[in-house]
Amino acid sequence: MSRKKICLNRIVAALLSIVLMLAMVCIAPAGDAKAAEPGLYITGGMAHVQNIGDSNAQIVKENGIDTLVLGTRGRGLRVERINVNISNTTGLAGTLQYRVHIQNVGWTGWINAGTPAGTYGRSYRLEGIQFRLTEELAKVYDVRYCAHIQNYGDNQGWVYNGALAGTTGESKRLEEIKVQIVKKGQVEVAPSISYRVHRQSYGWESKWAKNGEVSGTTGQSKRLEAISITVNDNVYSGGVTYATHVQNYGWMSAVQDGQLSGTQGESKRLEAIRISLTGDLANVYDVYYRVHAQDVGWMGWAKNGEDAGTSGGSKRLEAIQIVIVPKGNDAPSSYYKGVTAVTNECFKEFKATTQSFPVSDGANNSYNAGFEEEVLRLVNIERTSRGLAALTMPEDLRAVARVRAKETVTLFEHSRPDGRSCFTALDDAGIDYWTCGENIAMGYTTPQSVVNGWMNSDGHRRNILNPNFEELGVGCYKDSKGRYYWAQMFLTR
């Protein structure tokens, strides 16, 4: 055999061997072949981050679940815009939607996955975010997400299916957002309710109370000024709605799912609250709640929209507990999570004061209501021009100020003609208070002149501009000689 033929045979054999090896590598038994399962997946996303610009999101494993991570952690940088992409090979109708709460803008509308949400080039922070699935996808999958919030970190925890992650009305930036899509039942979550309050002097709590924990304070005489409530559940659709009764405003419009109810920066107390579940949750669970009210203490449990608190007595709410209970189960006990109610009543209505005050106590002696109202207006101009909350004038406090104005005709001092303190006039009127102060004056013939006089006196000025006061009673009394006597009674109940 020639050398050329031997070489050719060797080349053919080598080629056959390579083909056989490739066949062994590429052809696997049918039973071992794997294809991507149909499903709903997050495939990527983008966050526009302060000082960084557009940044591709990462997909990492967290507890074995693919997790989209948007933004940064530990750098104090705001997220300004986000975009989330998904792949839906389930054959089910629907998509992922999200909306964001933007600084100076508020809530956007719901936006489909693949479309940016937020702003570009305006340096506006995202403050809150919600995700939801729609149509058939919502019946098979859950979307769960967690926000890393300025000052609060991860304290809010994971929320589901349209619940608020982040805050509104607090000027807190979102720094990082995590998003997961899981099949229903893949992550078991017992239904829970989370809430936190804005407290006098302290502001918003940094941690969310959950499932009957106490939110607020007791023994410190601090009013609740606002509240935010969220239900977390991945089985039943629905949420929570709530309304508060606010000092001077009465019942506010109901809000839902993490929104702020009450006021912020106005020093207004919450006096009562009502809470209800919505959607399928309302068919399966009851919501119970009870409050700690000024001069009353812990009250009884209210249920499913009942009023909890007080009315007619100007009593502040100081703390609250909220819990959800499966329908058919007993209500929480009077002693619950270390707290004991002092009454079974969940709501108490105080009768309005029946104390009256005269317009005149004689032919030439009279009170001037118009002057009193003008003093209140002028005082509030002084306060609000300095960023302080305006004061209100309840009629019971005006009556006390009128008593004091007339008493100064006999004794122009901060004590009464019988030798008692001026503040015993509040006790005589049945007014409970946390702190108070008094200004008096005589001889001034107009509201503007008496307010100018007080503002030019350090002690009187301090009372007028005291940020802790909420109410002002004004008394203007003219004696038989035509001389005016003035009294201001400042109060926080």
Instruction: Report the alpha-carbon distance of residue 259 to residue 143 in Å, rounded.
Output: 20
pLDDT of residue 416: 92
Instruction: Say how far apart CA 468 and CA 32 lie, in whole Å.
Output: 75
DSSP state string for 227-282: EEEEEE-SSS---EEEEEEETTTEEPPPEETT--EE-SSS-PPEEEEEEEE-HHHH
Residue 29 pLDDT exceeds 50:
no
For the cut 70, the answer to whether the pLDDT of residue 5 exceeds it is: no
Alpha carbons 216 and 225: distance in angstroms, whole number: 10
End-to-end CA distance of the chain: 117
pLDDT band at 168 (very low <50, low <70, confident <90, very high): confident
pLDDT digits (tens, 9 = 90+) for 224-270: 999 999 998 777 878 899 999 998 888 988 998 888 999 988 888 99
Distance, in Å, from the CA atom of 212 to the CA atom of 214, rounded to the nearest integer, reads: 6
> Does the pLDDT of residue 353 top 60, yes or no?
no
Whether the pLDDT of residue 26 is over 70: the answer is no
Distance CA 161, CA 163 (A): 6
> At residue 331, what are phi and psi to the nearest 5 degrees?
-65, 155
Collect all residues with Cβ–Cβ distance below 8 Å to 448 and sequence separation of at least 6.
374, 378
Apex 93 CA angle, 96 and 116, nearest 5: 25
Band of the pLDDT at 311, cuts 50, 70, 90? confident
CA 481 to mean position of chain CA atoms: 55
Looking at the chain, the whole-number percentage of residues with pLDDT higher than 70 is 89
**Dihedrals phi, psi of 169, to nearest 5 degrees:** 80, 10
- State both tokens at 257: 């799912």
pLDDT (0 to 100) of residue 364: 53
What would the two tokens of residue 83 be?
Answer: 């975009």
Quote the pLDDT of residue 36: 55
Give the whole-angstrom CA distance, residue 374 versus residue 439. Answer: 16
Rounded average pLDDT over 458-483: 92
* pLDDT interval class at 13 (50, 70, 90): low
Q: Closest by alpha carbon to 165, among 249, 257, 227, 235?
A: 257
Per-chain mean pLDDT for the chain: 87
Q: How many angstroms from the chain centroid is the CA of residue 249?
A: 18
| Cβ contact 275:305 at 8 Å | yes
Q: How far apart are CA 24 and CA 291, in angstroms?
A: 74
Residue 356 above 70 pLDDT? no
Closest CA to 477 of 407, 414, 396: 407
Q: Between 129 and 430, whose confidence is greater?
A: 129
pLDDT above 60 (res 20) = no
Rg of the chain (C-alpha set): 33
User: What does the alpha-carbon distance between residue 96 and residue 84 come to, in Å, rounded to a whole number?
Assistant: 9
pLDDT at residue 343 greater than cutoff 80: yes
pLDDT over 90, % of the chain: 67
